[in-house]
Structure 1
Amino acid sequence: MAQTASRNDGEIVHDFLSVAGLLEQPQLARIYAYLYREGDAPVQELMDALDLPQGSAYTYVNRLTDAGVLTITTDAQPHQYGAVEIELTLTVDSEREYTISPILIDAVARRTEDETIDSYIDRRGIHGLAIALTHTVARERGETTHRLVADDLDLSALEAEVIMQALRPVVREYCSFEDREASLAEVVDAEDLDA
């Protein structure tokens, strides 16, 4: 749902509220992220893959469809559902913007399974997670280190490393990088040499 100048204010507000619902409810985010990653699927596949009860699965899918972030992709029964592309940019303060996109929604969805992500969101909010996600992408590209990220996010070096390690699987699923697999020990050793 990329925003364009041709969209009226009501549609933009509806889009924002739809996305806000995804970010506030990890179960909704999990369904969206699964369909975005895996492609169109019927509700039964969502129930099996995400271990959802039937009633909840249908309720969630209907809410997401009504919100406009899922769409029915087949006329035949059982219906297949697909994720709508989301890209909504918000300004946190005069210096920081972040984009709500499928990768952020997937990171939020993982809070139910990953204590580190859950705790980080509790302390820093969704906007803090979005910023950490941006830094994790930069780190995976070799453009920054956990110490520089720690300084920018006002975290300890350990806290920065921990959240970036938790976000790494999400980043690896959505972004492609040159194959530069360095171990954590190599990264830490290289940074110690620079200090």
Structure 2
Amino acid sequence: MPTLTEKISIAGEGTAPSIDDFDGFLAAATLLQRPRLARSYVYICYYGPATVQELIDTLDVARATAYDDIERLETLSLVERDESTRPHKLTAEPFAFVDQDELAITPTVLHAIALTEIDDDLEYFQNRYGTGRLVRGLRLTGEHYAGQLTQRLVAEKLDVAPAEGMAVVQALRPALAAGQEFDPYFDRLFPAIADAIDVDIDRVQPRSDRTNE
């Protein structure tokens, strides 16, 4: 799995990804469509090496579910298992994909998707408006916490009701907080404002994304 995929030039055709990158892109796209898998990937990426038992305990998932998800992530080459240890340790590398000079997918984006698995407001928003609008909401939320937009303006730019926009801004705080600390491509997602984003979370912890508990 590449840690960063840049565009390459094709004469007369602009830019396109190397053919070798498509397996990785499809794997990342799978995470965009499966929030539970994204949640396990992001946890291992941010807090690993981790054991399957840690995922079961921290993410509060059934044992069979955890093993199924890890097997799927391994099949997608997103997670590696160190079988020299007992219990086995799982690791995952952060990655990013570039689409027309803008990052389409980073761990921070995948964390936002993962939060729909456990946050009612984000689940509702994604179901109603789609993943693309949720990712745009993440970018706009970054601008809000950088002091550039009010929550009402975020809602206007998303073309949603003020209450929906404000709920999204609040619910995405954990993704921004963890991204600042653990996502090596955070400044590529927010190129002009990464250092200015202040989500007012003192310390990021694995379970801090449980906003509805």
CA RMSD in angstroms, aligned pairs only: 2.5
> Which residue of 16, 39, 47 maps to 1:38?
47
> Which residue of 80, 98, 102 maps to 2:107?
102
> Which residue of 50, 62, 65 maps to 2:74?
65
The aligned runs of 1:25-174 (5 Å cut-off) are 25-73=34-82, 75-90=84-99, 99-174=104-179
Count, aligned residues: 176
Task: State how far apart, in whole Å, the 2-side matches of 1:29 and 1:180 are.
Answer: 22
1:191 maps to none
Q: Note the C-alpha offset of 1:46.
A: 1.2
Amino acid corresponding to residue 35 of structure 2 in structure 1: P
The alpha-carbon distance between structure 1 residues 178 and 103, as it changes in their structure 2 partners (threshold 3 A), is closer
Task: State how far apart, in whole Å, the 2-side matches of 1:8 and 1:179 are.
Answer: 36
Amino acid corresponding to residue 61 of structure 1 in structure 2: I
Task: State how far apart, in whole Å, the 1-side matches of 2:124 and 2:29 are.
Answer: 19
| Higher RCO (CA-CA < 8 Å; seq separation 6+) | 2
2:5 maps to 3
Task: Indicate if the aligned counterparts of 2:82 and 2:88 stay in contact, CA closer than 8 A.
Answer: yes
Q: CA offsets, 1:118-141, max 9 Å, x none?
A: 011112211111110011111111
Task: State how far apart, in whole Å, the 2-side matches of 1:178 and 1:149 are.
Answer: 15
Which is helix-richer, 1 or 2? Answer: 1
Q: Note the C-alpha offset of 1:40.
A: 0.9
Task: State how far apart, in whole Å, the 2-side matches of 1:178 and 1:110 are.
Answer: 19
Runs of 4+ in 1 over 4 A off after TM superposition: 176-181
Superposition TM-score, scaled by structure 2 size: 0.73
SS at match of 1:112: coil
The alpha-carbon distance between structure 1 residues 97 and 72, as it changes in their structure 2 partners (threshold 3 A), is same
Task: State how far apart, in whole Å, the 1-side matches of 2:161 and 2:36 are.
Answer: 31
Q: CA offsets, 1:89-119, max 9 Å, x none?
A: 346xxxx955211111111111121111001
Amino acid corresponding to residue 70 of structure 2 in structure 1: V
Amino acid corresponding to residue 3 of structure 1 in structure 2: T
Task: State how far apart, in whole Å, the 2-side matches of 1:125 and 1:97 are.
Answer: 19
Ranges in structure 1 where 5+ consecutive residues have no aligned partner: 182-195
The alpha-carbon distance between structure 1 residues 120 and 180, as it changes in their structure 2 partners (threshold 3 A), is closer
**Identity among equivalent pairs (%):** 30
Task: Indicate if the aligned counterparts of 1:23 and 1:105 stay in contact, CA closer than 8 A.
Answer: yes
Task: Indicate if the aligned counterparts of 1:40 and 1:73 stay in contact, CA closer than 8 A.
Answer: no
The alpha-carbon distance between structure 1 residues 89 and 178, as it changes in their structure 2 partners (threshold 3 A), is closer
Q: CA offsets, 1:132-165, max 9 Å, x none?
A: 0011111111121123222322223332212111
Task: State how far apart, in whole Å, the 2-side matches of 1:119 and 1:180 are.
Answer: 22
